[in-house]
Amino acid sequence: MTATHTADTAASIREMGVRARAAGRVLRSLPAPRKVQALRAIAAELRARQSAILEANVKDVQAAQAADLPEHMVARLRLDAAALDAIAADVEAVAALPDPVGETSPPQTQPSGIQVSTRRVPLGVLGVIYESRPNVTVDVAALALMSGNAVILRGGKETVHSNAALEDAIRAALTAQNLPADAVQVIRDPARERMRELLRLDDLVDAIIPRGGAGLHRYCVENATVPVIVGGIGVVHIYLDASFTRDPADAARAAEIIVNAKVQKPSACNALDTLLIDRDALAALPDITRALLESGVEVRADAEAWGALQDVGMVVTPADDADYGTEFLALTASLKVVSGLEEALDFIAAHGNHTDVILSRDDAQITRFVQDVDSAAVIVNASPRFNDGGQLGLGAEVAISTQKLHARGPMGLRELTTTKWVVVGQGQIRS
């Protein structure tokens, strides 16, 4: 059931789409046990090919270092035995998730006598464009397969060898399971023109999902004729209310949450960018700032926060307007003092849409924040790093959508499906 996997020349991007569409027709009616079996086979194949995959990854790492890429980018693409085993385990975790495909709503009988229901079905063929993390290749493939979708993957040029080796493993496992290997295809040619061709394959690809920076998302939106699900970019705020600093234990907990939000994975889209602090909570600011500085964070503070910190002998960088509304993706955070919840809400409305957090012990303030903030995720008294498919019980995610059509927030199995109407009659005609 496999097709020849040709080199992806300009002409063959369309061929990849044709093969993906054919593979998708097989997958959309595949029973859940067969999909589970396939994912377990992929996990086993990844482990069996550890040496080949890691050797390919070394080539990518060496090329990245030779190109003087920043170390944090090199770290994102580097694999070792433990990381590869964790990737395989993630595939097994997806296999353990409930399959949403085929879920049917209770049938409703209409006055005409027809019975109508909706049934959950795969989107069809996905095009996923991403940057330097090779684990994304496997995560997305697993989610696509479990949700009954075929997928065409286009990774960054930094991971071309790793992605080729991972694709080989996935396709070999599918072939061994007598399933279409073309359900998962990687565009190995890193030329941007190949990506543009994928973006315009609207007769064969049902959705484009970009994962990366603002530039990648903008390019996809501006060049695609395929619908694009935009996400993964946006500014993350924490609003620290004075009520969360009156108890010393709370104040210490606030510092711990804020440091986790910024430091645990600073390159992630759900890492803290801007801390908004209630003017009545300024007494807690030195301890918070000290914890950030000790963790290697560059702190950029507005005039009021800068002055309050200078008064206690702490030196931070003065912020300018560009430091607000900026997604740093690095060990940098901005501070801004606000007069209370209303000013914080106005600021978030102007700058946010991804993940926004309130730290508060005031139920009325919390209720107002949750109701007013219009972001993909609103979090109360916890780190924004929890806006993640795995942490929210989805098992894994393809991306975090920050738009409002079709899907919003982490996109797991259910978000890779849609519905169709099923109508059953007994010979009725419409009068």
pLDDT digits (tens, 9 = 90+) for 334-378: 999 999 999 999 999 999 889 999 999 999 999 999 999 999 999
**Residue 5 pLDDT grade (very low, low, confident, very high; cuts 50, 70, 90):** low
CATH of 235-386, one of 3.40.30.10, 3.40.309.10, 3.30.310.50, 3.40.50.2300: 3.40.309.10
% pLDDT > 70, the chain: 97
Please state, rounded to an integer, the average pLDDT across all residues of the chain. Answer: 93
E strands present in 330-402: 332-338, 352-359, 377-380, 400-401
Q: Which residues are within 8 A (CB) of 386 and not within 5 positions of it... i.e. 6 or more apart? A: 270, 379, 392
Which pLDDT does position 71 carry in this prediction?
83
Residue 212 pLDDT? 79
List 337's β-bridge partners, or say none. Answer: 277
Assign 70 a pLDDT band (cuts: 50, 70, 90). Answer: confident
* Residue 235 pLDDT > 90: yes
The tens digit of pLDDT for each residue in 188-197 reads 998 999 999 9
- pLDDT value at 6 more than 80: no
Helix (H/G/I), strand (E/B), else coil: 231: strand
Residue 209 DSSP code: E
Contact status, residue 402 vs residue 232, Cβ threshold 8 Å? yes
Give residue-wise pLDDT tens across range 137-169: 999 999 999 999 999 999 999 999 999 999 999
Map out the domains of the chain as residue ranges.
12-232+399-424, 235-386
Q: Count the Cβ atoms, other than its own, within 10 Å of residue 55.
A: 13
The pLDDT confidence band at residue 321, using thresholds 50, 70 and 90, is very high
Q: Cβ(16)–Cβ(187) under 8 Å?
A: yes
Helix (H) or strand (E) holding 399: none
The pLDDT, as a whole number, for residue 4 is: 46
Q: Is the dihedral of CA 248, 307, 312, 297 positive or negative?
A: positive
**pLDDT band, residue 2 (cuts 50/70/90):** very low
CATH class of the structural domain 12-232+399-424: alpha beta
Q: Is the pLDDT of residue 89 over 70?
A: yes
Nearest to 158 by CA among 221, 70, 224: 70
Same fold, 12-232+399-424 and 235-386: no
pLDDT of residue 22: 98
- Mean per-residue pLDDT, 165-182: 98
- What are the residues facing 401 on neighbouring strands? 231, 409
Give the position of tokens 């098992």: 395
> Contact at 8 Å (CB) between 62 and 54?
no
What band does 1 get if pLDDT is binned at 50, 70 and 90? very low
pTM of the complete model: 0.86
Q: What is the pLDDT of residue 214?
A: 78
Q: What is the mean pLDDT of residues 108-130?
A: 97
pLDDT tens-digit readout, 20-33: 999 999 999 999 99
